Amino acid sequence: MQRFKSLSALRRSFQRQSHSCYSTISAQRDNYPQHHRFEEDVLVEGRAFSRAAILNRPSQLNAITTSMAGRLQRLYESWEDNSQIGFVMMQGSGRAFCSGADMVTIYRLLQEGNVTECKELFRTLYQFIYLLGTYLKPNLAILDGITMGGGAGIAVPGMFRIATDKTVFATPEVQMGFHPDAGASFYLSRLPGYLGEFLALTGEKLNGAELVACGIATHYSLSGKLAWIEERLGQLMTDDPSVISDSLAQYGDLVYVDKTSVLHKIERIDKYFCHDTVEEIVDALKEAESHDELCSTALKKLKEASPLSLKITLQSIREGRFQPLDQCLGREYRTSLHCISKQVSGDFSEGIRARLVDKDFAPKWDIPNLEAVTKDMVDSYFAPLPTSEPELNLPTALREPFM
């Protein structure tokens, strides 16, 4: 309620004007400095009373770089201040919405010893996600295609998330020796039951219908109808969320979750993933493996993951359940920086190498089994950063998270 009171007060101060344009516009017209190559990675489309940011690295599945996150931050800030813009949206080009942070670039930087640029990517991305989670205007994300890791992170804070029959969602970070970040410990921990733990620890994929059913997406449409939705949104002269929602529903489709979906197995997921430790979860899965295919599939996924990452991730999800967005992002930032420091383990670099660089899918984890991962090791990933290393700076005094 407080969010919409604030929004209404802001709305009354707007001086509305009609615009008939519907064209691609330059960032300069949105008071954004010119950087040609960066502009190509994030295109801007101007509409009657809205703007659209289009992630445009299709050959890299729209993976986010530092410059892209920074550009998005500046664009969204300028759009929020522009009284001639009622709402904003984000979409991807090609077969992905966004596959997350550019892990291959992170790997290259780490191999070169350039930790500073890696930190900058995490800092810039997390700050943009916080902006989205506190945005004063309606904001939409069209998740048409691959939506993974940090790609989900820049989608979920939106007021409206439109999934399609081409949507593929996952948080596969544990299989790369990392942890679900970019706000994942916030939104995964708030899914029904222990579904968040299941998704985070196994990297299980969900389709568009499943995203709507579990609450990650708000609307569903066939991909073939998106052009109609975009045309309708481009004609809207409003900043009223209910009008936008009605327009989305006008071209929406009924959601039918397949009978084989993991969402039909939520009671069993709760039974296996409710335990306090990863070891207890594994024991529960092994006990039922002989008569439950869900268990054997989950165990296979857990065996592929970094044992250290599994324990870090479970603790992150459990802590996130009781923290607001800003605290989740701050904690994830600390964990991410500890991951790239390699002080305890080099699993992050090794996981990226195995899955995305050499693609041999045979990582050699520094700590090969759960038993060897100590509590002190896990706790070190949640410890405050050294005094010489600034914590994530979020404008919480000016922008209170609504989520």
Task: Provide mean pLDDT across the span 369-383.
Answer: 96
Measured distance CA(118)–CA(99) in Å, rounded: 17
Q: Taking 90 as the threshold, does the pLDDT of residue 8 lie above it? A: no
pLDDT higher at 15 or 155: 155
Lowest mean pLDDT among 66-70, 172-176, 257-261, 396-400: 396-400
Residue 38's pLDDT is 62
pLDDT band at 24 (very low <50, low <70, confident <90, very high): very low
**Tens of pLDDT, residues 59-85:** 999 999 999 999 999 999 999 999 999
Q: How confident is the model at residue 397 (pLDDT cuts 50, 70, 90)?
A: confident
pLDDT, position 403: 53
Helix, strand, coil distribution of the chain in percent, nearest 5: 50, 10, 35
Beta bridge partners of 220: 163
Tell whether the model's pLDDT for residue 34 goes beyond 50: no
> What's the rounded Cα separation, in Å, for the pair 386 and 312?
19
**In angstroms, rounded to a whole number, what is the distance separating the alpha carbons of residues 69 and 42?**
9
Task: Give the pLDDT confidence score for residue 23 in this predicted structure.
Answer: 40
Q: Give residue for tokens 């929004």.
A: 7
235: burial class by Cβ within 10 Å (0-12, 13-18, 19+)?
middle
Residue 373: pLDDT over 50: yes
Q: Which amino acid is at 148?
A: M
Q: How confident is the model at residue 37 (pLDDT cuts 50, 70, 90)?
A: low
Quote the tokens at residue 333: 């930032």
At residue 400, the pLDDT reads 81
d(CA 187, CA 202): 16
Alpha helices (H) in 82-207, listed in sequence order: 103-111, 115-133, 150-153, 184-187, 195-202
pLDDT in tens, 151-179: 999 999 989 999 999 999 999 999 999 99
User: Closest Cα to residue 77, out of 29, 40, 128?
Assistant: 128
The rounded distance, in Å, linking the Cα atoms of 201 and 103 is 19
pLDDT at 5: 38
Condensed to tens digits (0 to 9), the pLDDT of residues 183-193 reads 999 999 999 99
pLDDT classification of 402: cutoffs 50, 70, 90? low
